[in-house]
Structure formats: structure tokens, C-alpha cells
Amino acid sequence: MRETIPWGTDLAAVADAFGPLPAVHDGTHEIDFVTLAGRAARLALTLCARGVQPGEVVASSLRNSIEAVWVSMALRLCGACETPLNASYTDAERRHCLALAGARLVVTMTAQAAAFEALDCAVVAVDAVEAAAGDPAALSPVPAEAWGRINFTSGTTGKPKAIVITHQARWIANILQRASLAFVPGPGSTVLLMTPFVHGAGIITQAFHDRGAKVVLLDGVDIPTVWRVLADGIDHIFAPPTVLAKLVGAFEGQRIGGIRCVFCGTAPLLPSLYEKAKAIFGPVVRVTYGKSEIVNPITVLPPRDTDAYYAEPHGEGICVGFAGTGVEIDIRDETGATVPRGQTGEVFLRGRHMYCGHIDVTGFHALPDDGFHDTGDLGRIDARGRLYLVGRMADVIKSGGYKIHPDEIERVLAGTAGTAAVAIVTLPSEYWGEIIVAVAETDDATWPDRARAAVNELARYKHPRAYLMLPELARNPQGKIMRRVIRAELLAHYQVNDGPHPTLERR
């Protein structure tokens, strides 16, 4: 028998079990499970009536909202290859992603229809779809190996690639996500989400909904709204480091009780930020490692282990936990050989819930025969089996004959600008190869002095040659700092006076 995924009957069972309970609150409005499932089924049936077939690429573009949740459900139900576009994309970014994925149909709001029609796309406006409830169970199961979702890589080092995930991988990933939760959610439990739904927030939503828990989905970190919903009763928060830093900056000095778990991932959590978060929420932070190519959980460091880790001497890298169920981690050297525990190399991953291949401008590329994905991350496995991330292979700095990891310098500088971010970038130098520059997202004129004092614990060749300040550091839609964009901005405004003791001069 051909394997299929019964998304429709799965959702119908959830609606039957938790029908009148609140499912999603967007800070203003709320929708219950039965209504949410009915709206999703109606859109799915509408798309099927338009001829959408299992595995067909269908894009969506919606800001965080109740509509974003049931649209994602609908694309799953009808078997489409859901291709979410971040609502903050520029026209050029939309054009690139649509062309890469081959999407010709976009689900969005009426207000955005003209922008996509100008890109030669057909549009389904969700605010014009019939409101009458559909029946999720009326939708046929979906072929397991059909394309189920396309994610786009963050593009921190270039244009995004399209990562293709099958419906089977999505279904398995959801089961593993639920299984990895520190506490089993249920009716009465609520998770607060503030990052784009098209990324990690959507994964957590499905896991919580399957247990009858409520999701509060805000469109960004609006502190007055966050404070209000916290008072209404929140017991879980998804807060990657960029979000956690904003919460810490707003709530520092306060104690917020009742939080069972703060989910943290997408970027390494620095010790200084962890200590500030712990002072506010308690020792409840859970760390994970995520990639576009393999759906979370890849590794998990539960709250108790997270707290114990940050009380230890840290050594090289940042710990992101133990391999999740079904995940294989292999650390390899430059020859492709597996290195012993404790040694640093490139991180390779394999699992049943990972992507089947990627699309770039040259076409579709399937996974290698051995099924391993080379992440480009540098890492090591400690004696206890925990993965530590040391940096990115592409970001390794070569200066004066030394290989230097920018993440190591950033960890030392963390906290020198308060909760503001600090990034390490390089500028070209004929004499040194590259020179190191520290850039802080601050206007505090005393920051360079604190930064210079902090790096004294590092070898001299790792010290930045300049300490600069910008009102804002470039980030991608996922909130990750884009070193290449910051580097370009610096080169536009500074020139390097090269030599044994290089300096920067404003143009």
C-alpha cells in the first residue's frame, strides 16, 4: 500500500477533542479549535477545486495573524507544497524565491494581491474565501513522499536556497517535536510566539495544538502587549536570543513567575544573556539547534541541563545539547573522516525528518546517497555526548596566518554594550589578509573602552583593530545578524590604511 499522511483526519480529531477551547489569540482576537479547523478545511477545498495537486508548490505571504495559522493548515490538508514567504520580503526577494520554487499561485491578503499579480502570480485572497466551515475529514490523505514544504535558507552569506521537505518528514518532525517537550502541554496551557510564524513559531504551534493548548501569536515583540498577555496566563515562551534580549531589556530587575519553559534556538545563547533571562524567568530555558534542512528538534538541552551547563566553565563553543530522537551527528575533518569526541570539525546531520534536497539557480539537488547533510557549522561532541557549536566554516577569519572564529570574540564582547548586539566582521587587507573589526548596535561612546578591556582575555592576534558603532545591525527576516551586509556598509564609509598597524579612516 502506498504510504499516505492523513492530515485531514488528524485535524478533525483535534477539532472533535478540543472544539470550543481557544486555539489562537493574536493579541486582540481569538478563534477556537473547531472554527480554526473549519476555516482551514474550507480553504483547502477551495484550492483543490482550483486543481491544486499533492506536491504542487503554492506560496503564501501573511504576517503573524490568526489567518496565517489556518492558511498553513489548509496547505497541508490539500497536499500542496507549502512555500511561505516572509511578509517583510522586498519585491526582489519575493521574485527570487518564487522563481526558485516555481510557485505560480500565492495565498495572501487582498491588500497584497496586486504586488504578487505584478510578479505574474495568480492569487487566492484569504479574506475573500467563503467563511462557511469545511470538513477536514473530507480531504483525502496525502502521498507521504510528495513535496510538503519549501523553506528558504537565511541567506546570511548569499541568496537563499530553497529547502524541500516531504509531507512524511513534516509529519515525523511534528511527532518528534511533541516528544521532545520538557512538559506535555494540554488544555489550559498557553505558549507565547512573537517570531514569524513561517519559521519556528509554526512548528511549535502544531505541537501545542495537537494537545489542545492555546497559542498567543503576536506580530513582533510589542512590550506593552507582551506584558498584558503574560498577565493573562502564559506558561511557555518561544524566545530566540534576539527576542530574549528584547524581553530582558524590558523586564530586567523584575521576576516573572509561572513560566514552565522558554524555548530558545536559531542562534547560540550567550552566557551573559542566559544569566539575565534566568534572573527574570527562573532556570526554565531550553536550548535547541535548528537548521532549515532538518526540522527541529536536532539537539535538545533541557532546562535542568541548560542551567547546569551555564554554571560550568564553558570551553570552546556553545553547548546546544544532546542529539534528538532519530538524529545522527557526525563530526568530520577536512578529509571527510570522523574525528574523535572532543575534536572540532564540520557538523554533518542525518535523520528521518530532514529535507529531501534543495533547489538553487542550477536546479534540484537531492541529498547525497549516505543521507548526511553537511551543515557548514563547526562543532565538537563532548565526553557526555553534547554538541557544541564553535562557528561557521565560511566565517573563519584568516589573519596574519592564524585561523580565528568570530563567534569566540563575540562571546567575549557579549554584554559590553548592555543587551545590544555586537558583531565581528572583517575587512580586506593586503598585509594581514583580513583585519578584525567589532561593531556594536549602540550609540554609547564608552562602549569601545569596555570592549577593549574585555578582549584582553584573548590572544593578541584575536583583538579587533577597530571598535565601531551603528544605530542598527543588518539582520535577515529570521533575526540573524548578516555579517556580509555589515561589511559592505563599513566598506562604503571607511577605507583601510593598510600595513603592520592598520587603521580605519572615514571616506
> Does the structure show a pLDDT above 90 at 495?
no
Residue 361 lies in a domain: no
Residue 441 lies in a domain: yes
> Does the structure show a pLDDT above 60 at 157?
no
**What's the CATH number where 467 sits?**
3.30.300.30
pLDDT score, position 1: 44
Q: Where are the beta strands (DSSP E) in 233-284?
A: 236-238, 261-264
Residue 300 lies in a domain: no
pTM higher than 0.95 for the full model? no
Q: Which of 238, 265, 290 is the last residue of a domain?
A: 238
Helix (H, G, I), strand (E, B) or coil at 256: coil
- Residue-wise pLDDT tens digits, 296-331: 789 999 999 999 999 987 677 889 999 999 899 999
Residue 259 CA to residue 189 CA, distance in Å, equals 10
**What's the CATH number where 153 sits?**
3.40.50.12780
Which residue range is the domain that position 22 belongs to? 4-238
- Residue-wise pLDDT tens digits, 73-114: 999 999 999 999 988 888 888 999 999 999 999 999 999 999
Residue 390 lies in a domain: no
Residue 402 lies in a domain: yes
> Does the structure show a pLDDT above 70 at 186?
yes
- Residue-wise pLDDT tens digits, 161-184: 899 999 999 999 999 999 889 899
The CB density around residue 19, as the number of other CB atoms within 10 Å, is: 16
Sign of CA dihedral 197, 301, 420, 504: negative
> Does the structure show a pLDDT above 70 at 188?
yes
Residue 77 lies in a domain: yes
Which residue has better confidence, 308 or 269?
308
Residue 497 lies in a domain: yes
Count of domains for the chain: 2
Residue 326 lies in a domain: no
H-assigned helices in 396-482: 406-413, 447-454
Q: Which of 183, 204, 238 is the last residue of a domain?
A: 238
What is each CA distance from 145 to 148, 152, 328, 353, 378, in whole angstroms? Answer: 8, 20, 21, 12, 31
- pLDDT (average), residues 194-207: 90
What is each CA distance from 334 to 230, 347, 376, 382, 400, in whole angstroms? Answer: 48, 11, 12, 20, 21
Residue 195 CA to residue 286 CA, distance in Å, equals 17
Q: Which of 214, 238, 262 is the last residue of a domain?
A: 238
